[in-house]
Amino acid sequence: MNTTIKPKTARGRLGVLIVGLNGAVSTTFLAGTIAVRKGIAEPVGSLTQLASIRLGKRSDNKFPKIKDFVPLTDLNDLVFGGWDIRDEDCYKSALYAGVLSEKHIESVKDELSKLKPMKAVFDQKYVTRLHGDWVKKADSKFGFMNLIREDIRKFKAEQEVDRIVMIWCASTEIFISPNGVHKDIKTFETAMRESHSDISPSMLYAYAALAEGVPFINGAPNLSVDSPALVQFARMRKVPVAGKDFKTGQTLLKTVIAPMLKAKMLGLRGWFSSNILGNRDGEVLDDPDSFKTKEQSKLSVLDVILQPNLYPNLYGSYHHMVRINYYPPRGDDKEGWDNIDIFGWMGYPMQLKINFLCKDSILAAPLVLDLILFMDLAQRKNMYGIQDWLSFFFKSPMHLEKATPEHDLFIQHMKLKNTLRKMMGEKPISHLDETETVKEFEAVFQ
């Protein structure tokens, strides 16, 4: 990163194109952001709106808000749009999602009622539990992708936005492992023209975004932009990409507890995670092929954090199981149980039990906001390809083929803040260069 050139200022308006505009996460994000703009709600959970960042030594006492330190787009300059397979406005969808109270939804009714989705690119083969009638028609997958490009251009012109960010908040597609079709951009383009079955709608949205120079974020666990072909395309087009799968509930806790176990050299015999969830996301994940996509995303974190190859006696043979059960009475109020079997001094067994009663979309909404603002910032700083400094927000952070992903929440947090410091030409914080301590340390050892 060139640290002498700061990000360009956020001039004009930023278009936010959401795939899955009418879903629970999207409408909770939209209602909340509009309510914050009106000064009737607090953006709790959002780093860009609330967090501060330390600059220099602790004794310098400089802790500006992130939003005052880096040139982020103001919430009043966001313009929303997107696609869904349901022909209804976001007011009706927010009521249907059942996440927010009627009082909150009514307070932003005018704005939500005006938000209607464009027709989606959808194929039931990839999300078997849903049917869509608000969908586009084309002769090939390449044709579908071109229709998305046209939508992007039309939105930009009609809404008079200066820049756009696209985010996938749509349903989880079935599991597709990257293969020859996704190996490079040439084969990928041929596969789109041949309507190959390993090209899913989320890949078409991602390609269209990149082709239009629009940063793309994947909030779901499906492959989407996370393939060598599309990462190569992002680099060619000089556009940032980030994903995948918002880190909100159980995995968020996992990436806090597991580093603690490792830091304390406590052993792990097993980790059983179970959830009940009753929203539409839960219904989609009830399909084994969509669940497989989610399961892969949730399972990957422990091994990377615990490094069983380095600590075979502590972490060489633990059992890790993840269950998601669709249970309609709960709606968006997900309940997760974790049973963690650990062992300590001389191998004596102990247990940890965590019962997290959360609201799925309430946890996800601030991540959507932060990711949109940070990706726009990255583009204005001319940063492109995989934005792994945003791994803080994801269960399965995208990473270069040769690198292992970082899952530890606090390392991710430090990486995010140090990247912001570097972007603005400030020194990253290493916790070693606290002058007093270092001076004392050096004096002792001279």
Ligand X SMILES: NC(=O)c1ccc[n+]([C@@H]2O[C@H](COP(=O)([O-])OP(=O)(O)OC[C@H]3O[C@@H](n4cnc5c(N)ncnc54)[C@H](O)[C@@H]3O)[C@@H](O)[C@H]2O)c1
Q: Would you tell me which residues interact with ligand X (CB under 6 A)?
A: 19-20, 22-26, 83-86, 120-122, 127, 130, 169-172, 201, 219-220, 245-246, 248-249, 279-281, 284, 360-361, 363-364
Task: Return the half-sphere exposure (C-beta side, CA atoms, 13 A cut-off) of residue 182.
Answer: 20
Task: For the CB of residue 22, give the shortest distance to ligand X in the complex, in Å.
Answer: 4
Residues 181, 10: Cα–Cα separation, whole Å? 37
Phi/psi zone of residue 108: left (φ > 0), alpha (ψ -120 to 50 degrees), beta? Answer: alpha
Main-chain phi, psi angles of 266, to 5 degrees? -95, 145
Nearer CB in complex with ligand X: 122/207: 122
Question: What minimum distance in Å lies between the beta carbon of 366 and ligand X?
Answer: 11
CB-based contacts of 79, cutoff 8 Å, min separation 6: 13, 14, 15, 16, 159, 161
- In DSSP terms, which residues pair with 65 in a beta bridge? 52
Residue (of 289, 290, 317) closest to 303 by Cα position: 317
Strands of the sheet with 118-119, listed across from one edge: 118-119, 78-84, 14-19, 163-168, 216-218, 240-242, 385-386
**CB of 161 or CB of 363, closer to ligand X:** 363
At closest approach, how far in Å is the CB of 25 from ligand X? 3
- The DSSP result for 282-306, as a single string, is HHHHTSHHHHHHHHHHHHHHHHHHH
Give dist(CA 293, CA 308) in Å, integer: 24
CB of 328 vs ligand X, minimal distance in Å: 13
Nearer to ligand X, 360 or 370 (CB): 360
- The tokens for 287 are 């399909």
Residue number, 220 or 378, with CB nearest to ligand X: 220
Q: Supply the DSSP symbol for 264.
A: T
Residue nearest to ligand X (CB): 23
Contact assessment for residue 285 and residue 326, using Cβ atoms and an 8 Å cutoff: yes
Q: Please identify, using beta-carbon distances, which residue of 219 and 385 lies nearer to ligand X.
A: 219
Identify which of residues 87 and 303 has a Cβ nearer to ligand X in the complex.
87
7 or 219, CB closer to ligand X?
Answer: 219
Cβ 143 to ligand X shortest distance, Å: 15
Q: How far is the CB of 302 from ligand X (least distance, A)?
A: 18
The smaller minimum CB distance to ligand X, of residues 32 and 201, is found at 201
Cβ density class 333-343: b for 16+ within 10 Å, e for less: bbbbebebbbe
Three-class SS state of 311: coil
Q: Minimal distance in Å, beta carbon 274 to ligand X? A: 16
> Nearest distance from residue 171's CB to ligand X, in Å?
4
